[in-house]
Amino acid sequence: MSRRPADLWLFLLTAYGLAWLFALPIWLTGASLASPLIMVSGVAMMFTPALAVLAVRLYGRRRAAPGTTWREWAGLTGLTLGERRGRTLALVVMAWFGTPLLAAVAIALSAALGLLAVDLDGLSLFREGLAAAPRGQAPPVDPGTLAVVQVAVAFLIAPLINSVAAFGEEWGWRGWLLPRLMPLGTWRALLVSGVIWGVWHAPLTLRGYNYPELGAWAAPLFVVFCVVYGALLGWLRLYSGSIWPAVVGHGALNASASLVLLVGDAADPPDLVVAGITGLVGSALLAVVSAVLFKRRPVERPAPVAV
């Protein structure tokens, strides 16, 4: 990326500033995590990194800085399918189906380690959630059938739907920011970009988002997850030369992260700090997968992108 420090500061100011702006209604109203306002603000936040990329581009053009054409710049920020389209498309498929599979493995590992009580026969936690839904909002479908439908949606449909909002983040974090930090070295760039990504979630995680039992302490724990998962998304971006595998992977994670609640036991609800793909078990699993991928399929350092 352009080496001008002003570009990086403008990117961060735009992404962070707009994120807090879009989350302001949550803080002003004291909305609970169950409020629809959380989802609305969260989705709006996801587009702020992409807006930050556009802000950097506009800033550079106004300064009449020498740079690339729009087509070249779009390609270098990952908007194309990269030099090997077949590889990129294969990685898109891998991210689409592999991410919910990793979520399922994290659930199985959590149960095997005694960190998660599951109720596959009765689906008691899922039934409890349906019973608690306001009258008229619970679907008139057998819970077992509904659970199967939700799993199918998480694997087949939701990753694509969620990728629309995930693009807003991935174009910023993995498309622009990660290559911008690569002069630090691959692992330092992944660490720094992961921390930046995790801290950016603070308007939500300081309210306990993802780990309600922790309250504001959810924020630092989610930074750990973002560093680990960001490494996997970073590998997808760097190995393909495109953001699209990371976009689909991110969308698939958002679709499958809650599967742990589908199979939980109401008598012993899941501790989301440790269980599931976003818990410590999932972070450890993702760390191993990322390390193996970087070892078996090394990445090339992307070319710098002028504004």
CA distance 114 to 179: 40
Mean pLDDT, the chain, rounded, equals: 90
In a domain, 91, yes or no: yes
214-228 pLDDT per residue, tens: 999 999 999 999 999
Please give the pLDDT value at position 1.
Answer: 44
In a domain, 11, yes or no: no
117-152 pLDDT per residue, tens: 998 888 889 888 777 766 555 556 677 788 888 899
Please give the pLDDT value at position 59.
Answer: 82
Please give the pLDDT value at position 157.
Answer: 94
Examine the pLDDT at 202 and tell me if it is beyond 90.
Answer: yes
Q: What are phi and psi of 65, to 5 degrees?
A: -75, 145
Examine the pLDDT at 9 and tell me if it is beyond 90.
Answer: yes
Both tokens of residue 159? 């990753």
Q: Find the mean pLDDT for residues 245-273.
A: 94
Give the type of residue at 18: L
In a domain, 57, yes or no: no
Please give the pLDDT value at position 250.
Answer: 98
- Those residues whose C-beta lies under 8 Å from the C-beta of residue 150, and which sit 6 or more positions away, are 262
Task: State the pTM of this model.
Answer: 0.91
Q: What are phi and psi of 30, to 5 degrees?
A: 65, 35
In a domain, 145, yes or no: yes
Range of the domain at 168: 81-296
In a domain, 219, yes or no: yes
Please give the pLDDT value at position 133.
Answer: 66
In a domain, 6, yes or no: no
- As for how many domains the chain has, the answer is 1
CA distance 205 to 41: 13
Q: Find the mean pLDDT for residues 203-207.
A: 96
